[in-house]
């Protein structure tokens, strides 16, 4: 009819989401505030409890509100899937194996202690024991989607958070099935379903691991040969969606498949290109999830039940922070790490909402109870970035951590990444020849020890690009990577070479194969520890049996050059076709 406004719901919702991303990310980044808060606030504003409540009175509000909140749910779930896929890309099976003690030790204790303790408290407050158990373990979960983008995965806080969140992700399906088994008329069915899911899920995971190791390198090699970024993107989406569907079909969470897909690709030489090409999609989909969290917050209902809700939020956050911090201290973490991680992990999770829904479907809790705790969860998710800032402040107060002091970034100097045994030796040699340097490490213990011994060492995570920029990487004489983390060093070298084509980059390698990997990543020199120790042994033996030192040193240098040339030739011969990141970004 003439004069009436007509909107396509899909187009108006897309306008709101893309407009939100275009406003939130630049503005909040400008003020160094995580965009997480911005997306949640946008969700509150454009949701059914915000401006959406007046769309029938003012039709033009359709342009700036979400007309179909339920329709966003699949996109929000896809955002979490892409987030877990990106986390897998940052890890590797070797690195994950090193976290096994934290995952199945700290992670298991954190979930069991918090879940059972909260269940006991709720039971004493009058909640029936099955409902108390459901609520206790639902509230014990912490948000993977919000916590990890804040903490990262390479710092001590990030590693501790990752280990607990990984165990929680593993336990999602068993807990949901156990809740089903507690339903009065579904005990045997729930138990049978749990057993079926466990053995079928085990078979699917084993199949993904075997097929992925064989097929993924070939798949991405073919995609790279075409020089087509579209095909490379299609292959990436095919892998993550296929793996997620495979685990979902047998009853496991799709994020398990996404994490496995990321871990498998992290073992290939194409992980950098996949990570770069998927980053924009992950950020947008995660933003949609956070908007849906904001849309679930009913400000009127919160106001009507303000004090009970705030009391519940404060008690849950305080209890979880204390228990997590104590467990971390018992596992040997520093006071600052325990305090910061405990507070960061204190809020409930998006998984809490899933478990609450499952508990309500099993009639373990009443609808009103479920709604109350859903509001508590939404508020907890909203304040998580604030908890992160509070945790950092308290962590620095209980145990001061050396601040990042860039010094004179205009001065040409050598940047040493890692101030352990090898990093200190490099610093000693630079000092002996009067060459300026600065060392950086994310381990506060190493920083404190190095400073006490007079080394120029500062605290920071070199994996974050802004940290090296603040150190004046564009004026650096050289960068020396001394840490004993093969995967991380290879990725750092690749990023450094991409951003600084003329930079001298020297990397510590475990052996000849690792050295070849570093050369392929862009290292100017890669020094294998095994070969250097062999050369030093040879030098000592030849000198002690009477061979003149001049010819010995000359032969050692000649052998070193010969081995270096051989490693570089092996690196060139082993190199496979790769799609350049610049091509993808174009």
Q: Which of 118-122, 140-144, 407-411 has the largest mean confidence?
A: 118-122
Closest CA to 313 of 379, 216, 250: 379
Q: Which residues does 50 contact at the CB level (< 8 Å), separation at least 6?
A: 44, 65, 295, 299
Q: Identify the CATH assignment for 68-398 out of 3.40.1130.10, 1.20.1530.20, 1.25.40.340, 1.10.10.1110.
A: 1.20.1530.20
pTM of the model: 0.58
Q: Is the pLDDT of residue 186 over 50?
A: no
Q: Domain coordinates of the chain in residue numbers? A: 7-67, 68-398, 414-585
* Nearest-angstrom CA–CA distance, 29 and 372: 33
In this prediction, residue 547 carries a pLDDT of 76
Could you say which DSSP state residue 566 is in?
Answer: H
Instruction: Enter the CATH code of domain 414-585.
Output: 3.40.50.720
Position with higher pLDDT, 545 vs 584? 545
Q: What is the structure's pLDDT at 410?
A: 60
Does 187 have pLDDT greater than 50?
Answer: no
Q: What percent of the chain has pLDDT over 70?
A: 77
Query: In the prediction, which pLDDT does 62 show?
Result: 66
Map residue 441 onto helix, strand or coil. Answer: strand
Predicted confidence (pLDDT) per residue in 515-544, tens digit: 888 888 888 888 887 676 676 676 667 676
Nearest to 296 by CA among 33, 24, 73, 60: 73
Q: Looking at per-residue confidence, does 274 or 83 come out higher?
A: 274
């Amino acid at each position: 009819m003439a004069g009436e406004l007509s909107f396509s719901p899909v187009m108006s919702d897309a306008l709101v989401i893309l407009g939100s991303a275009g406003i939130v990310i630049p503005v909040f980044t400008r003020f160094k505030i995580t965009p997480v808060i911005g997306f949640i606030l946008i969700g509150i504003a454009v949701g059914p409890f915000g401006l959406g409540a007046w769309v029938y009175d003012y039709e033009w509000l359709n342009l700036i509100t979400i007309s179909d909140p339920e329709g966003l749910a699949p996109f929000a779930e896809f955002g979490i899937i892409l987030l877990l896929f990106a986390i897998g890309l940052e890890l590797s099976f070797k690195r994950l194996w090193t976290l096994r003690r934290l995952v199945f030790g700290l992670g298991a204790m954190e979930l069991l202690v918090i879940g059972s303790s909260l269940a006991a408290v709720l039971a004493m407050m009058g909640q029936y024991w099955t409902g108390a158990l459901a609520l206790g373990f639902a509230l014990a979960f912490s948000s993977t989607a919000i916590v990890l983008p804040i903490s990262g995965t390479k710092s001590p806080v990030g590693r501790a958070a990752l280990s607990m969140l990984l165990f929680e992700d593993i336990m999602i399906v068993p807990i949901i099935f156990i809740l089903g088994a507690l339903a009065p008329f579904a005990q045997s069915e729930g138990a049978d379903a749990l057993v079926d899911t466990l053995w079928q899920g085990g078979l699917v995971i084993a199949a993904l691991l075997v097929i992925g190791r064989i097929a993924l390198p070939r798949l991405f090699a073919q995609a790279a040969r075409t020089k087509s970024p579209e095909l490379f993107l299609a292959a990436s989406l095919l892998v993550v969606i296929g793996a997620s569907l495979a685990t979902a079909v047998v009853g496991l969470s799709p994020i398990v498949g996404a994490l496995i897909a990321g871990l498998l690709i992290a073992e290939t030489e194409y992980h950098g290109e996949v990570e770069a090409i998927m980053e924009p999609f992950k950020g947008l989909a995660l933003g949609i999830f956070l908007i849906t969290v904001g849309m679930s917050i009913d400000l009127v209902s919160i106001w009507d039940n303000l004090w009970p809700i705030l009391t519940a939020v404060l008690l849950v956050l305080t209890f979880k922070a204390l228990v997590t911090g104590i467990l971390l201290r018992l596992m040997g973490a520093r006071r600052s790490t325990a305090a910061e991680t405990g507070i960061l992990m204190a809020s409930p999770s998006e998984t809490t909402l899933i478990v609450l829904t499952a508990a309500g479907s099993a009639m373990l809790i009443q609808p009103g109870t479920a709604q109350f705790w859903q509001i508590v969860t939404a508020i907890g998710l909203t304040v998580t970035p604030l908890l992160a800032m509070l945790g950092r402040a308290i962590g620095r107060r209980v145990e001061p951590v050396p601040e990042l002091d860039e010094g004179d970034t205009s001065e040409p100097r050598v940047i040493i990444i890692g101030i352990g045994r090898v990093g200190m030796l490099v610093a000693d040699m630079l000092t002996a020849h009067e060459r300026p340097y600065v060392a950086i490490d994310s381990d506060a213990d190493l920083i404190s020890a190095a400073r006490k011994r007079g080394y120029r060492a500062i605290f920071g995570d070199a994996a974050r690009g802004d940290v090296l920029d603040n150190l004046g990487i564009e004026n650096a004489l050289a960068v020396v990577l001394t840490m004993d983390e093969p995967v991380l060093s290879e990725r750092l070298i690749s990023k450094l070479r991409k951003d600084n084509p003329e930079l001298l980059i020297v990397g510590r390698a475990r052996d000849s194969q690792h050295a070849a990997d570093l050369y392929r990543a862009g290292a100017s020199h890669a020094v294998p520890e095994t070969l250097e120790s062999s050369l030093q042994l040879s030098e000592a033996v030849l000198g002690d049996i009477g061979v003149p030192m001049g010819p010995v040193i000359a032969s050692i240098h000649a052998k070193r050059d010969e081995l270096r040339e051989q490693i570089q030739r092996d690196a060139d011969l082993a190199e496979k076709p790769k799609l350049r990141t610049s091509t993808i970004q174009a």
